Each structure stands twice: as C-alpha cells, then as structure tokens.
C-alpha cells in the first residue's frame, strides 16, 4: 500500500437503506423513567400497507459520515466492510461519486452487504430501524495493515460483530501511533457495555458525540441518575473526553470543552425523515473543527445547519450540503 494522507477517515458500517413509510404505526408512552419517551407499535398479525418506499445504497454510519466529510471538501477515507453482492457494487459506485477513497474497504466473498429497514410513521421524526449487519460484522481492523496511512482524524461510528472490541482497541492503537485525533459516536453495543468498559477509551477520545438518551444511559451505567443536559455534560467530560457534544432533537445541541458550555438551537424545518441526522451532526461538528481551526461555536453552528437540511430530505445523505453551499447560504 502506497503512502496515503487524509484529513479524516470514517470507521463504521455500510448498508443498503430501505425507507418504508406507514400511517398505521401506534405511538405509546414509554413507562420507563429514562430513555425515549415513546414506543412505536403495530397490532399483532396486522398487514401494514405502505404507499411510499425509497431505497438507498451506500448508507450506514461509516458511509454517511464519509460522504458528509467529503462534501465539506475534506480528503476522506472509509474503513468498512462489504460483501460481493450488487449492493456492494452500488455502494462503491456511490462512494466514488463523492470522491471518497474506498481502498480501505474490506470485501468478503459469499457474504451479503448490510441492510437496514427504516419504518417511519405519520410524524416524520417517529421511526424505528431494523438492521441486518451482515458483512459489517466481519470487519477486521489490524493497525499493522495501515502503516503507510496518515490522517489528522479518525471518526468512529457504531461497530458491530464479535470482533468489535478488538477492532475498537486496534483503532485507538492506530490513532495513537499516527498522532491522530479521535471523534467517537458510539453505537448501542458500545454504550451497553457501560462506563467501566468505556472509560479507558474516553480518556483517549478528543470528541465524544451522543444524543440525550445515550448520555442518560451512560450516566446510569456509572450509577448516576442524571437528566439535565448540563449535569450530563459535566459527568461525561469528567470521564476523560476533551470535548463532549450532546444532541437533544428539536431543542438543539450542547458542547462542553474546558469547562465552557456552548449551545446552538435547532434550525426549525419541516421534518421529512430524521434518519441520518446524528451522522450529519457529528461529522459536521468534527468537520467544522477542522475547517474552522477548532472554533467550537462555528463548528456547532455548522453541525445544526447541515443536520437540519438532512431531516428535510428523504435519506441520510440527500440533504448534506457541500461546503460551497454552506458558504453561499450562511454566514459562518
């Protein structure tokens, strides 16, 4: 492998996303005190009719964030896994359209590529995602394989499969050997491990990105029943990350760094589909830190602007503004 230099490398999944819109989804109150306030339900045995479906290839946390970085004009690579099916071919073609380096993507013969079924109700921000990780679970990261790779940042999205803990360790080892910074948006498997497991990695994390429900879960795993944003920020940053960002849907997002708390309200738009909003926010925040020389206020504003444009479109990537579009429309 020849020497390769990047501004940022995304690490995570690639999926084919099937967007399935239904009117018959029931919204129930969640009796649990913590976590999401609602549950989504269907009647047992019912046949649910959808009059609108959209299929996208090249989705998933790794691919979504890579596309986001590339549209900000950053030299971007992607470490991920695909099968050898038609979805893999389409996904690679999709990444090439945004000039993402795909040479780091692993291919597995006789394996399906990842698949997500996104079911969305009448209220467009109400959705549930069913995932089949497939080839994503076969990802094998060995830092020795990347000895000729140089990057300013690694952006770590959700990891899956039996090897995710080893892959996590390898990525942090690789980043340390390259003097690269790490931004981390942990997935459900990582958050479910709790603070005891995660804390050693948090100490090496430059930017930790979670939503409010995830922040609450992390605090509970550390025997802290916290609910207020400021308390969540203070507890999470005390675990070691240099910067912590917590999003709270339509309310906006908060960031803490060196004791200073930053807030940016959400940009109010008509929500078409909220899938991919988290990927857009996290990657835009980190992209903003790169573009604006660690100016957190400007990076946070960029993150809210770009994520709001994503939820106003169908699909996780359709609304991702390029850096030229950002400069033309907004004063940041």
Q: pLDDT tens digits for 52-75?
A: 888 888 889 999 999 999 999 999
For the chain, the average pLDDT equals: 91
Structure tokens belonging to residue 78 = 């992607």
Confidence band, pLDDT 50/70/90 cuts, at residue 32: confident
The yes-or-no verdict on residue 183 having pLDDT over 80 is: yes
> Where does the chain show beta strands of DSSP type E?
4-11, 15-21, 26-29, 38-41, 52-59, 76-79, 81-82, 106-107, 114-120, 127-132, 149-156, 181-184, 207-211, 243-247, 252-257, 260-265
Provide the whole-model pTM: 0.90
Q: Please choose, from the candidates 240, 315, 253, the residue with its C-alpha nearest in 3D space to the C-alpha of residue 284.
A: 253
Q: Give the pLDDT score at 325.
A: 94
Handedness of CA 155, 159, 163, 168 (dihedral sign): positive
Average of per-residue pLDDT across 247-254: 94
User: What are the backbone dihedrals phi and psi of residue 122, each rounded to the nearest 5 degrees, phi first?
Assistant: -60, -45
The yes-or-no verdict on residue 288 having pLDDT over 70 is: yes
- In CATH terms, 10-329 corresponds, of 3.40.50.970, 3.10.180.10, 3.40.1190.20, 1.10.1040.10, to 3.40.1190.20
**Strand, coil or helix: 40:** strand
Number of Cβ within 10 Å of residue 291's Cβ equals: 19
- The CA distance from 22 to 25, in Å, is 7
Confidence band, pLDDT 50/70/90 cuts, at residue 128: confident
């Amino acid at each position: 492998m020849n020497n390769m230099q990047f501004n940022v490398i995304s690490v995570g999944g690639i999926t084919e996303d099937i967007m399935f819109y239904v009117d018959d989804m029931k919204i129930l109150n969640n009796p649990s005190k913590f976590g999401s306030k609602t549950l989504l339900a269907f009647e047992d045995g019912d046949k649910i009719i959808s009059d609108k479906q959209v299929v996208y290839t090249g989705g998933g946390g790794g691919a979504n964030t890579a596309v986001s970085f590339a549209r900000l004009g950053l030299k971007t690579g992607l470490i991920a896994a695909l099968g050898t099916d038609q979805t893999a071919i389409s996904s690679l073609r999709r990444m090439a359209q945004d000039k993402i380096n795909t040479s780091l993507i692993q291919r597995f013969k006789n394996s399906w590529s990842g698949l997500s079924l996104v079911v969305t109700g009448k209220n467009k921000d109400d959705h549930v995602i069913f995932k089949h990780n497939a080839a994503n679970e076969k990802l094998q990261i060995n830092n020795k394989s990347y000895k000729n790779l140089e990057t300013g940042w690694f952006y770590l999205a959700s990891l899956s499969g039996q090897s995710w803990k080893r892959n996590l360790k390898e990525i942090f080892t690789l980043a340390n050997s390259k003097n690269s910074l790490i931004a981390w948006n942990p997935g459900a498997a990582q958050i479910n491990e709790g603070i005891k497991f995660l804390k050693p990695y948090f100490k090496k994390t430059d930017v930790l990105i979670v939503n409010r429900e995830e922040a609450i879960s992390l605090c509970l795993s550390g025997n802290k029943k916290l609910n207020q944003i400021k308390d969540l920020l203070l507890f999470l940053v005390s675990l070691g990350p240099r910067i912590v960002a917590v999003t709270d849907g339509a309310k906006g997002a908060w960031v803490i760094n060196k004791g200073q708390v930053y807030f940016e309200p959400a940009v109010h738009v008509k929500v078409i589909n909220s899938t991919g909003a988290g990927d857009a926010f996290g990657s835009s925040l980190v992209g903003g830190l790169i573009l604006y020389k660690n100016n957190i206020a400007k990076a946070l504003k960029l993150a809210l602007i770009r994520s709001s444009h994503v939820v106003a479109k169908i699909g996780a990537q359709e609304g991702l503004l390029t850096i030229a579009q950002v400069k033309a429309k907004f004063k940041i």
